[in-house]
Amino acid sequence: MRNKTLLDFTLDELKDAMAAWGEPGYRAKQVWRGMYHDLTVSPEGLTTLPKGLRARLETLGTMSTLSVVSQAVSKSRDTRKFLFRLHDGNTIEVVLMFYEKRRSVCISTQVGCAMGCPFCATGMGGLVRNLTAGEIVAQVLFVARWLRDPEVDGPDASPVPRPTTLTHVVLMGMGEPLANYDNVWRAIRTLTSPEGFGMGARRITLSTVGLVPGIRRMAREPQQVNLAVSLHAPTDRLRNKLVPINRRYPLKKLMDAVREYIGTTHRRVTFEYALMRGINDSLEQADLLADLLSGVLAHVNLIPLNPVEGSPYQPTEQRKANAFLGRLRRHGISVTMRLRRGIGIDAGCGQLRRRTVGIG
């Protein structure tokens, strides 16, 4: 598959490219409507355009950059993982989760990740490369299309009885989104543009390991997507070990950037905290966490750790996890526990890794 894709273009860039052929501005809008509203996959499907123009568009790039290698569905059928091949042979994973009222897709922003968190499957292989904006957008479009026509992309029995729509996007798959800032934001602009995919920014959540300059930059973006910060430890000593980038951006700097972000955006920030047995799950650590977050407009999302092969970290027992949660509540912290999802198919967000080729 070619790597040039129309999904990389902003609307203005497409207008410029088509203006060079003497086409009026509304043609580019028709292309965008076709790609992002009608979810068309190839220029031939753009039936509002003259035939010659459709052929010409092909020279600018493809409308889909992903081919499905395999799919896996969880036993409870509420989680589906897609493994995609990119034009250069690299593979990425995308997870679709069904909730009572939501259909949420967890997408990847890089092939691999350079941050090296020792409990994370993605981090173990290091960074291969950034995804382009088009490759990021393509994941969302693919899943939106799949939800609209659930049976088209796989011979297996569909867990979706009828066509439906995507309601949320989370950037919590493979990679660190703020380490690929420009491509990620170009993708977010296309996804939220009313002329593009038209998703509300508040339905999009970006999860970061805590890259301070990126958080400050995000605060100034007009698209107010939700920010989640992967904390996992209440002290620098422990966080240096679990989240090595903490040596560069220690808690004080991170919390200052978060406070500044909240000051500018007036938006609540979510802190992710994966509970690891005997490592970060004591009541004293809950107290320290409450101290760290006191006075901050924060929500804590406790995540049951997905054990990863080759890593010594194990999930906290349910009873202890509940006690940790109760302790935070007693300190007045807003906190919830994330459901265990997709464990059997290695499809917990943050559990994504290329070794799963072939599953499904």
- Positions in the binding site for ligand SF4 (CB under 6 A): 113, 115-117, 120, 122-123, 175-176, 209, 230, 350
Q: Which is nearer to ligand SAH, 124 or 143 (CB)?
A: 124
**Which H/E stretch holds residue 233?**
none
Catalytic annotation on 93? yes
Whether 349 is catalytic is yes
Binding of residue 112 to ligand SAH (CB under 6 A) = no
What's the CA gap between 1 and 140, in Å, rounded? 19
Residue 138 vs 209, nearer CB to ligand SAH: 209
Per CB under 6 A, does 269 bind ligand SAH? no
C-beta closer to ligand SAH: residue 39 or 275: 275
Q: Phi then psi for 80, rounded to 5 degrees?
A: -130, 130
Residue 60 is given by DSSP the state T
Binding site partner of 348, from ligand SF4, ligand SAH, none, Cβ cut-off 5-8 A by kind: ligand SAH
Q: Is 356 in the site for ligand SAH (CB under 6 A)?
A: no
Q: What does the block give as tokens for 217? A: 């930059």
For 70, the token pair is: 């395999």
As a whole number of angstroms, the distance between CA 49 and CA 27 comes to 8
Q: Is 119 in the site for ligand SAH (CB under 6 A)?
A: yes
Considering only residues 15 through 54, tell me which ones interact with ligand SAH, judged by CB under 6 A: none
| Whole-angstrom distance, CA of residue 356 vs CA of residue 221 | 35
Structure tokens at 112: 């691999």
Residues 284-303 that bind ligand SAH (CB under 6 A): 303
Site for ligand SAH in 304-333 (CB under 6 A): 305-306, 308
140, 197 contact by CB (below 8 A)? yes
Count of residues that interact with ligand SAH, criterion CB under 6 A: 19
Q: CA quadruple 116, 349, 95, 203: dihedral positive or negative?
A: negative
Minimum CB–partner distance for residue 52 and ligand SAH (Å) = 44
- For residue 113, the minimal CB distance to ligand SF4 (Å) is 3
Binding mask 220-259 toward ligand SAH (x if CB under 6 A, else -) reads ----------x-----------------------------
CB 81 within 8 A of CB 342: yes
Among the options 93, 135, 176, 272, which is catalytic? 93
Please identify, among the stretches 91-99, 112-120, 124-132, 253-261, the one whose residues bind ligand SAH according to the rule CB under 6 A: 112-120
Which residues, other chains included, contact 184 with Cβ-Cβ below 8 Å and sequence gap of 6+? 109, 133, 136, 171, 177, 178, 206
CB of 244 to ligand SF4, least distance (A): 8
Among 107, 133, 184, 209, binds ligand SAH (CB under 6 A): 209
Which residue has 């020792």 as its token pair? 118
- Residue 64 or residue 306: which is nearer to ligand SF4 going by CB? 306
Give the Cα separation of 187 and 131 in Å (integer).
Answer: 10
Report the length, in residues, of the chain. 360
> Shortest gap between Cβ of 75 and ligand SAH (angstroms)?
19
CB of 152: closest distance to ligand SAH in angstroms?
A: 29
Which element (helix H / strand E) includes 190? helix 181-192
Nearest distance in Å: CB 254, ligand SAH: 12
- Measured CA to CA, the distance from residue 335 to residue 351 in angstroms comes to 22
Task: Work out whether 212 is an interface residue with ligand SAH (CB under 6 A).
Answer: no
Q: Where are the alpha helices (DSSP H) in 193-306?
A: 212-219, 236-242, 251-265, 283-293
Structure tokens belonging to residue 277: 């047995």
Pick the piece of the chain touching ligand SAH (CB under 6 A) from 55-63, 90-98, 245-253, 345-353: 345-353
Catalytic annotation, residues: 93, 349
Which residues are at the interface with ligand SAH (CB under 6 A)? Answer: 113, 119-120, 172, 176, 207-209, 230, 272, 274, 303, 305-306, 308, 348-351
